[in-house]
Structure 1
Amino acid sequence: MGAKRKNSGDGDGSSNGDGKEVKKAKKKESMAESLLPSMIKNKEKRSEVHAKLKHQKKLEKRKKAKAREAAEKRALDLGEEPPPKSIPRTIENTREFDETICMPDDEELFAGNDADEFAPVLNQELTPKILITTCRFNSTRGPAFISDLLSVIPNSVYYKRGTYDLKKIVEYAKNKDFSFVIVVHTNRREPDALLMIGLPNGPTAHFKVSNLVLRKDIKNHGNPTSHNPELIMNNFTTRLGHRIGRLFQSLFPQDPNFRGRRVVTFHNQRDFIFFRHHRYIFETKESKQVSSKGKNAKTDKDEGSSEPKVIARLQECGPRFTLKLRSLQHGTFDSKGGEFEWVHKPEMDTSRRRFFL
């Protein structure tokens, strides 16, 4: 009897031991699942956990997509409205609240438009006339960039800088009835900044230039004509952005010639202003119309008829570059005693979701 009890006790002990091992294994698995890959010191184990998490996320995403498609199909079959599509969270639609965002019913804003420095050009009382020059130390790509700008901006002329001070150039441009002075600054043989000086009373905007691609470097580029271009201004939503948008608009005549099919775009995204210059082309192509007899009726000659179809496409003319506003100054250029409306400072970049334009 004693031996039997001992055997039965051994059996109970082994079963209890197996249960403890199972519990330990489950505990380890749950701990491994709760651990982040960055918390694991072992490289192989870390990569293994990361791959497992990535695979699980992929499976969950696929499962949600299938469920969404099934719900949409079910709703269409029943004649009901499909469930609304979820809007992905982006930096743009989760931007920080800004009190200076312009509203369509802002009477103060529209009243200020009639009294600002750009009103004569935008109200078509004055035709813009642009003087383009360089910094004192020019580079090889500077003149090529200026040549492209001259083909983009109507009524623009290039004057060689020489040794003249910028204030003297501004006074000369005022006397010659220019509406803007644009200075192309270069650094290490590459244009890296634009200074736009409004005349006669300012303002002066300083932009950083990046990602410059000249016309000759764009594959299958088009050659622009001398027609006045259309303007597209995107996402200039704040008071500052509205002012910068009007500054860009005042560089161009406000009577676009649609026969030229030229489009100049200033697209603001996350305070980066993307410049593009296109022309749109209309092409006539023949599209085959299949008859109602179906695809199997291949023997009939009259099974399909070709009809002309007009297709519109874009051809980039260049140049292509990105602008970043550094400062906006009251009046014409004054590096010492000038009063600034807005200046970008490093301490402003506290959040990725904070935008100023």
Structure 2
Amino acid sequence: MPSLNMRRSWRSVRRLRLGMPLRSVLSSLPPPKKIPRTIENTRELDETVCRPDDEELFAGNDADEFSSILKYGHTPKVLITTCRYNSTRGPAFISELLSVIPNAHYYKRGTYDLKKIVEYANNNDFSSIIVVHTNRREPDALLIIGLPDGPTAHFKLSRLVLRKDIKNHGNPTSHEPELVLNNFTTRLGHRVGRLIQSLFPQNPDFHGRRVVTFHNQRDFIFFRHHRYIFETKATKQTDSKSKKTKDVTDENISQEKVIARLQECGPRFTLKLISLQHGTFDSKGGEYEWVHKPEMDTSRRRFFL
């Protein structure tokens, strides 16, 4: 049975053939479907949004601090440590980070200063340092330092869910994961995305079916860790040979169908950029590229990543 919109369109064509005015024909047509207004599609205009034909951006990619890993294919080597006063959930979170990031090594912080750790990492060919900061027995911040020339990104960490707390979670394998970065559209977001990309190898092993996702939405970076699962499901199809006779029984024909789904491996957390600093970590004389300030939050439609 034709729908109401199809009836209206047929009537309008019929009226147009009969010589009725175009205005009356257009008034009988259904109105166009409206696009809902969201915060994302009504965001404030930002001049720093990257464009596909931006030659200056691509030229900067060839000369930035991450080009040795992303362009020349060097295997990253990551050092993971904690703050001086560690908590109970800190080691559990670090052990899961070690399973997410390939070629990552954990070193106990002790009483060493962070500048001494940076010097040690440079002497031992590490490409990045991740410092897990804890407060009140809960990890609340991440400090990612690119080596040897920086930059240093300070993130606020929230909504941490460990693997054991995720329902029907899976155990990750040792294969190198596939990295997915979403919605890093501005110059600042592009730089943060390349910093995150420098933590992972650039030749993923697709046989392992591991996927690591950093999804940016409204300047909140959501981290997820999944793996593909291919299952074979048997479906039954009813084939009735004769519908007129009641004595004829239906035959159930079983068919196999391959279904793909995602299984979360954990952990699950959210990051928010606090500051981006030139060079390695220097709390006193460091030069900052970008710092989040309270007056930046006056508009809900202003995003920086």
1:333 aligns with 2:291: no
2:292 alignment partner in structure 1 = 344
**Distance between the aligned counterparts of 1:245 and 1:133, measured in 2?**
22
Secondary structure class of the residue paired with 2:298: coil
1:71 aligns with 2:19: no
**Distance between the aligned counterparts of 2:62 and 2:212, measured in 1?**
24
Larger Rg: 1
Q: Check conservation: 2:128, 2:199, Cα contact below 8 A.
A: yes
1:163 alignment partner in structure 2 = 111
**Distance between the aligned counterparts of 1:297 and 1:139, measured in 2?**
74
1:112 alignment partner in structure 2 = 60
**Distance between the aligned counterparts of 1:186 and 1:313, measured in 2?**
34
Gaps of 5+ in 2: 14-28
Secondary structure class of the residue paired with 2:155: strand
1:284 alignment partner in structure 2 = 232
> What is the letter of the counterpart of residue 190 of structure 1?
E
CA drift at 1:302: 6.1
Q: Check conservation: 1:207, 1:324, Cα contact below 8 A.
A: yes
Q: Deviations 1:234-278 (Å, cap 9, x if unpaired)? A: 100000001111111110000110111000000000000000000
CA drift at 1:125: 3.1
Secondary structure class of the residue paired with 1:185: strand
1:142 aligns with 2:90: yes
Aligned pair in 2 of structure 1 residues 186, 108: CA closer, same or farther (>3 Å)?
same
1:173 alignment partner in structure 2 = 121
Under a length normalisation based on structure 1, what TM-score does the superposition of the two structures give?
0.76
CA drift at 1:86: 2.0
Secondary structure class of the residue paired with 1:227: coil
Q: Check conservation: 1:72, 1:83, Cα contact below 8 A.
A: no
Report the structure, 1 or 2, having the larger strand content. Answer: 2
CA drift at 1:74: 5.5
Q: Check conservation: 2:240, 2:249, Cα contact below 8 A.
A: no
**Distance between the aligned counterparts of 1:281 and 1:288, measured in 2?**
22
Q: Check conservation: 1:72, 1:82, Cα contact below 8 A.
A: no
1:20 alignment partner in structure 2 = none
**Distance between the aligned counterparts of 1:297 and 1:257, measured in 2?**
57
1:97 alignment partner in structure 2 = 45
CA drift at 1:82: 8.3
RMSD: 2.4
CA drift at 1:185: 0.2
1:256 alignment partner in structure 2 = 204
**Distance between the aligned counterparts of 1:78 and 1:282, measured in 2?**
50
- How much identity, in percent, do the aligned residues show? 80
Alignment size in residue pairs: 288
1:244 aligns with 2:192: yes
Ranked by relative contact order (alpha carbons within 8 Å, sequence separation 6 or more), the top structure is 2
1:235 aligns with 2:183: yes
Q: Deviations 1:25-69 (Å, cap 9, x if unpaired)? A: xxxxxxxxxxxxxxxxxxxxxxxxxxxxxxxxxxxxxxxxxxxx8
Q: Deviations 1:116-157 (Å, cap 9, x if unpaired)? A: 111111124311000000000000000000011000000000
1:211 alignment partner in structure 2 = 159
CA drift at 1:195: 0.3
Q: Deviations 1:137-181 (Å, cap 9, x if unpaired)? A: 000000000011000000000000000000000000000000000
**Distance between the aligned counterparts of 2:46 and 2:222, measured in 1?**
22
Q: Check conservation: 2:178, 2:204, Cα contact below 8 A.
A: yes
Aligned pair in 2 of structure 1 residues 260, 291: CA closer, same or farther (>3 Å)?
same
Under a length normalisation based on structure 2, what TM-score does the superposition of the two structures give?
0.89
Aligned pair in 2 of structure 1 residues 304, 163: CA closer, same or farther (>3 Å)?
same
Secondary structure class of the residue paired with 2:150: coil
**Distance between the aligned counterparts of 2:120 and 2:71, measured in 1?**
25
1:188-207 matches, cutoff 5 A: 188-207=136-155
1:152 aligns with 2:100: yes
CA drift at 1:280: 1.1
Report the structure, 1 or 2, having the larger helix content. Answer: 1
